[in-house]
Structure 1
Amino acid sequence: MIDRRAALRLAAVGGAAVLAGCSFSPPRPPVRGGRLRVAAAVSSTADTLDPARQLTSIDYCRCAMFYNGLTRFTETATAELSLAEAIETVDATNWTIKLRPGVLFHDGRPLTSADVVYSLRRHADPAVGSQGKAFAGQFAEVRAVGPDVVRIALTGPYADLPLLLATPYFLILRDGTTDFRAANGTGPFRCTEYQPGVRSIGTRFEEYWRGPVKLGEVEMFSIADESARLNALLAGDVDLINGINPRITRQITAQGYQVFETKGGGYTDLIIRLDQSPGSNRDFVLGMKSLMDRETMRTAIFRGFARVGNDHPIPPSSPYYDASLPQRRFDPDLARYHFKKANLLGATIPMVTSVAAEKSDDMGVLMQAAGRRAGINLDIGRAPADGFWSSVWMKVPVGFGNVNSRPIADIVFTQFFKSDASWNGSGWHNERFDKLLLAARGETDEPRRKAMYGEMQRLVHDQSGIGIPLFLSTLDAHTPRLKGMRPMPNGGMMGYGFAEHVWLEDQA
C-alpha cells in the first residue's frame, strides 16, 4: 500500500498521472508474517480472477495466490503433482487422475472430482473466452468416476498432458463458479480485496493443504511508469517490482537492492510476412536474418541479460534444443548477396518497431545501420504501444513482435508456427512441420521425440519469416529483506508463484 506521503514522492518523480491504478488508502496495521507490497508494470480494468482468461503477469500472480492446478512446474521445467495425487496413462490418450485428499477451498468445502470436471470442461464454452481453449480442444471427454477420480480421454495421444495442466489457464475452480468478483480457490492465500485495475489483497489461508505460507498478506497493484515504479522500490514504499529495464540494473544494485533474473524462453522477434512483398521473396528473408547482430544486441541493448537465439523458438535450456543446428551469423556481406539476388539493392523497405515489442526500437536501429552496409535502406516507423497488438502486429510486411516464455515446446510451436495458428506471425505454411507437430505430441520415446523437435527447429530456422535473435531474461527487483526467490522456467517472479515461497526477513 502507498500512503499519501509516498504518493507525493512518486508524483515528484514521474508525475501524478502515471500512478493511475494505485491505491492511496490509510496504512494497514501490521500482520503476522508480514505484508508484501508488489507493484506490477501493467494493470487495467480488464484484470481478471478467472484463470481461463488471464492475460498479464498481474493476473497470473493473483491467480497463483488463490488457486492451484492439478500439477505445477518445477525448476527444471518438468511437472510435479499438486492437487493430483497420481496421474496415470498407458497410451498417452486415456489418463486417470487421483485427487489429493484433505484439500479445502477457501469457503471450507472439500475438493472433489466434480470441481476438476467443471474446471476443465468450461474451456470449451465460447462464452468463457478461455485463453486455453486451443489446448483444451484435445479433451474429448472429461468425467468423474468417483468422488476423487477423474478420467480424461484425449482426441489423440499427448504425452505432455501433465505439463499442460501446470499452465496457468488450467487452475481448478469450485464446481459451478461463474462469479469472479472474488476468488474461491484452494491456494495459499484467500482473496480479501479485489478491485480490477486498482489493487488486490491476499491473506494467508491457514488451512492451506501444503501448510500455511510464511507471508501474512500480499498487496498487488500497478505503477505503469518505469521510473515511478523503480523509485517506489528505492523509497521503501514497495518490496517487489517487475518490468526492469536492463540499463538500470547497476543503479538498483548500487543502492543495495537486488535484481532477480529469470532466464526464460521469451523473445522479441522480427516478423516478415511471407504472403506479402518483399517477404514473398525468400532471399529477402534470408538477407534480413543475416542483418541481426545478435551479440551486440545481447550486450549493448540487453546488458547481457539475454541468450543468443537461432531463429527458432526453442531456447538452449530446453531438453529439445537442437545444438547441432549451425548458428546463423551476423553477415552484412551475405545479406548483400541475398538482397542482390532479390533485386533489392538500393531499395527502401519500411520496417515497423514499437515500445510494445520489447527493445524493438533499439534492435531496429542496429539493423538499419547494418542494412546500409548491405545495400538496403530500412525505413523505421515507430508505432505507438496503444493499439499495436490489434492494429500493427502481424499485419505489416516487416515489423516486430514479442512472445512471452512458453515452457512447453508443443505450445510455442502450436501457437506461433502451425499453419493454421491464429498467431502465425509470418503466415508460414509447411505440411511437414504440421505432421511432425502432431506426431511429436504422442511420441513417448524421448530420443525419437527429440529428433522430431530438432527437425521442426530446422524447418522454422530455414523457411519461416520469423527471426529470433535472442532469448530474453525477465528481470524483477526487490528489497534485500525479501528472501526465497529462485528462478522458475515458466516466467518471472518465480513463474508468477512467488507469494507461496518467499518471506520477509525479521517477520514472524
Structure 2
Amino acid sequence: MTDQKRPAAVPARPRAISRRGLLQSAAAFGLASGAGGLLLPGVARAQEVPQSGGTLRAGILGASSNTNDPALRQDEFGVMAAYTTFNHLVEIAPDKTLAPELAESWEAAPGAKEWVFNLRKGVEFHDGRTMTADDVIYSINRHRGEASQSGAKALMAAIEEVEKLGSHQIRIRLASGNADLPWNFSGDHMAIVPDGFDNWMKPVGTGGYVQTSFEPGVRATWERNPNYWKEGRAHVGEVEFLVLNDPQARIAALQSGQIDALGLVDPVAVEMLKGSGAAQVVNSAGGQFWSYAANCKLAPFDNVNVRRALKHGIDRQKILDIVLRGNGRIGNDQPVAATDPLFNTELGQTPYDPEKARYYLKEAGLDGLSLQLDTSDATYAGSANVGQLYRQAAQEAGIGIEVMRQPADGYWDQIWLNPSRQMTSGVWMGRPTVDMLMSTIFAGDAPWNEAFWSDPRFDGILVEARAELDPAKRKEMYWELQSIIHADAGHVIPVFADFIDAYSPRVRGLMPTPSWYLMGARFTERVWLAS
C-alpha cells in the first residue's frame, strides 16, 4: 500500500531470484554431496529475544498459484500466502489445540446447532478499515450457496443463517449440530476479508503482512503490516515467496543462501542437509499421507473387489524404508493418523499379499489388470519413484501399472481431478478434525473427492457423527467410517509421511508443528532472522 511506511531497519530487497538461475544452482550444488547439516538447537535458541527486520525468502510449491483468493487455492503457495496475508476466526496452535484469533471466544447452545462468536475489537484491515461483524459475515457467506466454488463449500453447507447480533458479535445457525464447528474456521480458505471485497490481485486482510506484488505462478512479496494487532508476531520486515516446483532447485537454493525456508523436503536429502552446515532440518510427525486414488466411476474400478486387489498389491514397508528413510509410518488405506484420538486401533492392517490381490481380481471376473497411474513432483518429491515401487510390487499380483510422470505445472488443474484419468497420485496434509478430513475428501459431494467415490451409508453416518456430542458415540461412528473407507473406498494410502522442513541457519524461533509443514503454514509470522 502506498500510504504505509516501510518498517525501520529493513534492508533493501535482494534481487529477485529467477527459476532458471535456481535450476542452474541445482546443477552446481547437486545432491550428491556427503556433507551434512545442522540439527535444530532448540533449547539454546528458544531463549533468544526475537529480532525485527530482514527479508525472509521461501521456495514454495505452486504449480496452480494463479489466484490470491484463498477460497479457490489448490496448492501450497496459496495456503502459505493465505496465512501470510489474512487472519481467521481461530488458529491452530503449535501443539494442535484451538486458539482464538479474530474471534475472542465462542459458545454453543445445547445440541451444537447454534453458535455465538464474540469478535476481537480494534483490528484494522490493511486499507485502514476496522473489522466488524459485517466483514466476518461476508467472509463466511462467500463459501455458501450453489454458485460457490470454494474448497470450504462442503464445510459451510450446514450453515442456515449467519446473523449479526452486534458490531462484534455474530450467531451461526446450522441445519444440524456440529461439535467441531469452530475448527472449520481455522482453514486457509476461511480468511476474513472486508465486506464486499473481490479485488484478488490486490488482497486486503488483517494479517501480519501486506502483499506488495503478485506474479501468478512465479513469485509474490509482502511488507510487514505496521499496524498488526498481534504482539510478538510478524517479526521480519519483508517476505518473498518464489514458486519452485523442482525439488533439487529448492534444496540448491537453500544451500546457496538464495532462500531461507522450504517445506516438503525429500527424505533422501535429509542427511545431506543435516551435514552441510547450510541448513536446519525440522521434522514433525503429523497427518500428512500419500494417496493413490482409483477412479470409482470408471470400470473396472467401480468394482470393490478391484479396489481391494489394488490395496493388497502395494508393499508399504518398502516405500517407508526406501523412499521415506523411516521418516513416517505405515498407512492402512484410511486417512486418520495413529496420533489422532479418534484413530481406529482395532482396524486390521492390509498386508502386501499378491495372492490375495489375485483372489480379489478373480472375484471381479478378471485374470489380470492393466492401468495407468499419473504421478507428479507437484505432489511430493520422488512421486514417480514411489509409483515405480508400486508397479514392481503389483506385478506379482497380476496388476500391470504404467507410471506416467506428469509435469508439475498444470498437474492439479489438468490431471488430478480429471474424471477421465484411471488413477492419480496425491498428497494430503491432514486436517484439524476427522470430520473436516472426511468431508473434504470422502463425502459423496466433497469438493476434492479425488477417487470419485460415493457411499450413501458413509455419508449418512458422517452427518450423524458431526452432530453427536457424546464422545463415546462419536468415536464409535468415526471408527466405523474409517472401516468403510479402509474396505470399500477407492484410496490406496501406503504411508503417513512426516513433515520435513529446512531453514537457513539465520532463521530463529523454529519448533516442530504437527498440524502442517512450515510451522503449520504460519512460519512467516512466527519466525525471525538473526543479524
Q: 1:299 to 1:372 in 2, by over 3 A?
A: same
1:82 matched residue in structure 2: 101
**1:10 corresponds to 2:35:** no
Alignment of 1:283-362 (within 5 A): 283-345=305-367, 347-355=368-376, 356-358=378-380, 359-362=382-385
The counterpart of 1:264, out of the listed 270, 275, 286, is 286
1:466 matched residue in structure 2: 491
Q: 1:205 to 1:320 in 2, by over 3 A?
A: same
2:431 matched residue in structure 1: 406
The counterpart of 2:193, out of the listed 153, 168, 173, is 173
Partner Cα separation in structure 2 for residue 350 and residue 224 of structure 1: 27
The counterpart of 1:455, out of the listed 465, 470, 480, is 480
Output one character per residue of 1:94-131: Cα deviation in whole Å (capped at 9) or x when no partner: 11111122222223332211111111122236666322
The counterpart of 1:70, out of the listed 73, 89, 99, is 89
How far did residue 197 of structure 1 move? 3.4
Q: 1:186 to 1:342 in 2, by over 3 A?
A: closer
Q: 1:9 to 1:343 in 2, by over 3 A?
A: closer
Q: 5+ unaligned residues in a row in structure 2: which ranges?
A: 1-12, 29-50
Q: 1:250 to 1:147 in 2, by over 3 A?
A: same
Equivalent residue letter for 2:372: M
How far did residue 265 of structure 1 move? 2.2
The counterpart of 1:247, out of the listed 268, 281, 285, is 268
**1:187 corresponds to 2:207:** yes
Normalised by the size of structure 1, how large is the TM-score?
0.88
Output one character per residue of 1:323-354: Cα deviation in whole Å (capped at 9) or x when no partner: 11111222223334434444544x35223232
Tell me: higher relative CO, structure 1 or 2? Use CA pairs within 8 A at least 6 residues apart.
Answer: 2
The counterpart of 1:107, out of the listed 100, 115, 127, is 127
Q: 1:4 to 1:486 in 2, by over 3 A?
A: closer
**1:61 corresponds to 2:80:** yes
1:205 matched residue in structure 2: 225
**1:226 corresponds to 2:251:** no
- Which moved further from structure 2: 398-407 or 229-238? 398-407
Normalised by the size of structure 2, how large is the TM-score?
0.84
Q: 1:47 to 1:260 in 2, by over 3 A?
A: farther
How far did residue 154 of structure 1 move? 1.3
Output one character per residue of 1:372-410: Cα deviation in whole Å (capped at 9) or x when no partner: 433x14141415235544346553444534334222211
Equivalent residue letter for 2:83: A
The counterpart of 2:394, out of the listed 350, 371, 375, is 371
Q: 1:45 to 1:380 in 2, by over 3 A?
A: closer
Partner Cα separation in structure 2 for residue 409 and residue 35 of structure 1: 37
Q: 1:427 to 1:110 in 2, by over 3 A?
A: closer
- Which moved further from structure 2: 145-154 or 117-126? 117-126
Output one character per residue of 1:271-324: Cα deviation in whole Å (capped at 9) or x when no partner: 334444433444333232112211111110122222211111111121211111
Partner Cα separation in structure 2 for residue 246 and residue 379 of structure 1: 25
How far did residue 421 of structure 1 move? 3.4
Partner Cα separation in structure 2 for residue 224 and residue 426 of structure 1: 24
Equivalent residue letter for 2:242: F
How far did residue 420 of structure 1 move? 3.7
Q: What percentage of residue pairs aligned between the two structures are identical? A: 32
Q: Is the partner of 1:96 in helix, strand or coil? A: strand
Output one character per residue of 1:220-270: Cα deviation in whole Å (capped at 9) or x when no partner: 222333222222211112111234222111221111212223333232223
Alignment of 1:413-452 (within 5 A): 413-452=438-477
Q: 1:70 to 1:6 in 2, by over 3 A?
A: closer
- Count of aligned positions: 489
1:21 matched residue in structure 2: none
Q: 1:411 to 1:344 in 2, by over 3 A?
A: same
Partner Cα separation in structure 2 for residue 262 and residue 352 of structure 1: 29
Partner Cα separation in structure 2 for residue 392 and residue 481 of structure 1: 37
- Which moved further from structure 2: 68-77 or 191-200? 191-200
* Alignment check: 8 A CA contact 2:415 2:421 kept: no
2:216 matched residue in structure 1: 196
Q: 1:228 to 1:308 in 2, by over 3 A?
A: same
Q: Is the partner of 2:192 in helix, strand or coil? A: coil
How far did residue 164 of structure 1 move? 0.1
How far did residue 7 of structure 1 move? 8.2
Q: 1:7 to 1:430 in 2, by over 3 A?
A: closer
Q: Is the partner of 1:203 in helix, strand or coil? A: strand
Equivalent residue letter for 2:394: G
Equivalent residue letter for 1:114: D
* Alignment check: 8 A CA contact 1:159 1:441 kept: yes
How far did residue 361 of structure 1 move? 2.7
2:36 matched residue in structure 1: none
Partner Cα separation in structure 1 for residue 451 and residue 471 of structure 2: 30
Output one character per residue of 1:420-442: Cα deviation in whole Å (capped at 9) or x when no partner: 43543444333321221001111
Q: 1:496 to 1:109 in 2, by over 3 A?
A: same
How far did residue 69 of structure 1 move? 0.8
**1:96 corresponds to 2:92:** no
* Alignment check: 8 A CA contact 1:39 1:241 kept: yes
Partner Cα separation in structure 2 for residue 93 and residue 105 of structure 1: 30
Q: 1:289 to 1:198 in 2, by over 3 A?
A: closer
How far did residue 156 of structure 1 move? 1.3
Partner Cα separation in structure 2 for residue 316 and residue 456 of structure 1: 15
Equivalent residue letter for 1:502: V
Partner Cα separation in structure 2 for residue 183 and residue 274 of structure 1: 38
* Alignment check: 8 A CA contact 2:113 2:178 kept: yes
* Alignment check: 8 A CA contact 2:264 2:517 kept: no
How far did residue 62 of structure 1 move? 1.9
Partner Cα separation in structure 1 for residue 130 and residue 423 of structure 2: 53
Partner Cα separation in structure 2 for residue 465 and residue 223 of structure 1: 31
Output one character per residue of 1:3-49: Cα deviation in whole Å (capped at 9) or x when no partner: 38998863633589xxxxxxxxxxxxxx952221112132566131x
Q: 1:232 to 1:313 in 2, by over 3 A?
A: same
2:31 matched residue in structure 1: none
